[in-house]
Chain A
Amino acid sequence: KAGVTQTPRYLIKTRGQQVTLSCSPISGHRSVSWYQQTPGQGLQFLFEYFSETQRNKGNFPGRFSGRQFSNSRSEMNVSTLELGDSALYLCASSQGLALSYEQYFGPGTRLTVT
């Protein structure tokens, strides 16, 4: 089985721009969660999608949004980028909601905001 894939792997953007990151889950997995990883704050939960619906959301401003498609692929969007948004963004997929099933992580997208 192919693992979780994330595109692009690296991205450089300028303050004020917006960005869209993509996550393709393992085949058959219906839940996708997103995390932000920074040296200062560590790993922080952004949101979880299951069956195209956002089920849970972390404490991030509304500039961070996401969606999930019928094939379970998910996208995350960050609008009006700030320098502090520079981070590694990880997505993880699981068969069901994160509590009950093991999450499988992707390699991450490294976003740099200049």
Chain B
Amino acid sequence: AQRVTQPEKLLSVFKGAPVELKCNYSYSGSPELFWYVQYSRQRLQLLLRHISRESIKGFTADLNKGETSFHLKKPFAQEEDSAMYYCALYQGGKLIFGQGTELSVKP
């Protein structure tokens, strides 16, 4: 079965520190992967998708098929990055979400 694992429930960093939110997936084909973000009292929204290879709000994510990972990275965290982050895999017409990682950026 396809699965998405986000091993950290909570990640706490200081402002200006690098941040990496981990995502591992279980899928034998060519994955379509996404990162979604939910800021406090806001709706869930798409942050980025791997096929677009773009950087959004300073975040990037690289697909590593060998390690079946799609970690989200930002070199210098900002307080406004504090939010819930979900990694998701699209397969067979379904979006399969990880359990989410809460990122807390402290001043």
Q: Contact residues of A with B, CB < 8 Å?
A: 3-4, 33, 35, 42-45, 48, 55-56, 58, 90, 92, 97-99, 102-107
**Residues in chain A near residue B96, CB distance under 8 A:** 45
- A58 and B46 form a contact (CB under 8 A): no
How far apart are the CA atoms of A58 and B94 in the complex, in Å? 7
Stretch of B13-21, B22-30, B70-78, B97-105 at the chain-chain interface:
B97-105
Could you tell me which residues of chain B, from 55 to 103, have a CB within 8 Å of some CB in chain A?
A: 86, 90, 92-100
Chain B contact surface mostly: strand
Question: Does B11 reach chain A (CB closer than 8 Å)?
Answer: no
Query: Contact at A44–B97, with CB atoms within 8 Å?
Result: yes
Is B32 on the interface with A (CB-CB < 8 A)? yes
Nearest residue, chain B, Cβ from A97: B93
Q: Which residues of A contact B43 (CB under 8 A)?
A: 3-4, 104-107
Interface size grouping (class) on chain B: 10 to 19
Q: 16 more A-B contacts (CB under 8 A) besides A43-B100, A104-B45?
A: A3-B43, A4-B43, A35-B95, A42-B99, A43-B86, A45-B94, A55-B93, A56-B92, A97-B93, A98-B93, A99-B90, A99-B93, A102-B46, A103-B95, A104-B43, A105-B45
The answer on a CB contact under 8 Å between B100 and A42 is: yes
Name 23 A/B residue pairs within 8 A (Cβ), A-sorted. Answer: A3-B43, A4-B43, A35-B95, A35-B97, A42-B98, A42-B99, A43-B86, A43-B97, A43-B100, A56-B92, A56-B93, A58-B94, A97-B93, A98-B90, A99-B32, A99-B90, A99-B93, A103-B95, A104-B43, A105-B43, A105-B44, A105-B45, A107-B43
